[in-house]
Amino acid sequence: MMVTDDRKALVLFSGGQDSATCLAWALDRFEHVETVGFAYGQRHHVEMEIRPRAREAVAAAVPGWQARLGNDVVIDAGVLGEISETALTGDVEITMGENGLPTTFVPGRNLLFFTLAGAYAYRRGIRHIVSGVCETDYSGYPDCRDETVEAMEKVLNLGMEADLILETPLMWIDKAASWILAERLGGAALVAAIIEETHTCYEGDRGHRHDWGYGCGACPACDLRAKGFAAYQSAKESVDG
């Protein structure tokens, strides 16, 4: 049995709003936090360029967090781009597919990411693997379901004789609640860092600045982020007022 360190966490970090919130959640809880990203032939390279800055910005939001932030690694998962034709990896329009899922769904993606993260955490002796998957408002991606993650944890621990824990702090909250969580963890500084330095837009647009951050403003990811931010703002106003 591989005994991993309970004080250590590995965050699946893409540079988006959700993974940035997860990184903050981990930095708040664990003494040592590492990050892992995946290159899988994303159509836009913005995500990869944004990652290091977003990581630093989150860690800089709260005194003490920078000292907890450890290694970052980007794992090549390019094989996903080779075997799937989706709107995120190929030149496919973002629409509803015949399977009832958006064409942004990359079959097997999160399953592969959890497996690679699990293998990496095992090697680094890290117990907690933190991911921003969420069942609440995620277009029904089946690999974001709580049941999938629970099964994955069981498979990893069986298959590697390990004691890994898959953490999903965003599983049951919506986008507005994610902003509220960020504010609770790191105050206005963290909210500002997430707005400024994270990237969510499917179109890779960094040219248009909105009150919720950068993006095309029209794709489903921007739409979700904009609506969540607006709901967060009005929740704040009703509390403040």
Given the rule CB under 5 A, which residues bind Zn ion?
A: 201, 203, 215-216, 219, 222
- Residue 123: CB atoms within 10 Å: 9
Name the minimum Å distance from CB 12 to Zn ion.
21
Strand partners for 156: none
Q: What distance in Å separates the CA atoms of residue 26 and residue 47, rounded to the nearest whole number?
A: 21
DSSP state of 67: H
Which residue, 181 or 222, has its beta carbon nearer to Zn ion? 222
Which residue, 182 or 219, has its beta carbon nearer to Zn ion? 219
Name the minimum Å distance from CB 217 to Zn ion.
6
| Nearest alpha carbon to residue 20 among 181, 214, 237 | 181
Q: What distance in Å separates the CA atoms of residue 21 and residue 19, rounded to the nearest whole number?
A: 5
Which residue, 62 or 195, has its beta carbon nearer to Zn ion? 195
Query: Token pair for residue 229?
Result: 């931010």
Name the minimum Å distance from CB 208 to Zn ion.
9
Which residue, 51 or 68, has its beta carbon nearer to Zn ion? 51
Name the minimum Å distance from CB 82 to Zn ion.
25
The answer to whether residues 136 and 171 touch, using CB atoms and an 8 Å cutoff, is yes
Q: What distance in Å separates the CA atoms of residue 10 and residue 203, rounded to the nearest whole number?
A: 28
Name the minimum Å distance from CB 223 to Zn ion.
8
| Nearest alpha carbon to residue 194 among 12, 1, 16 | 16
Which residue, 183 or 223, has its beta carbon nearer to Zn ion? 223
Which residue, 176 or 219, has its beta carbon nearer to Zn ion? 219
- Residue 40: CB atoms within 10 Å: 20
Q: What distance in Å separates the CA atoms of residue 51 and residue 77, rounded to the nearest whole number?
A: 16
Which residue, 181 or 219, has its beta carbon nearer to Zn ion? 219
| Nearest alpha carbon to residue 104 among 172, 156, 30, 43 | 43
- Residue 209: CB atoms within 10 Å: 12
Name the minimum Å distance from CB 139 to Zn ion.
14
Name the minimum Å distance from CB 212 to Zn ion.
11
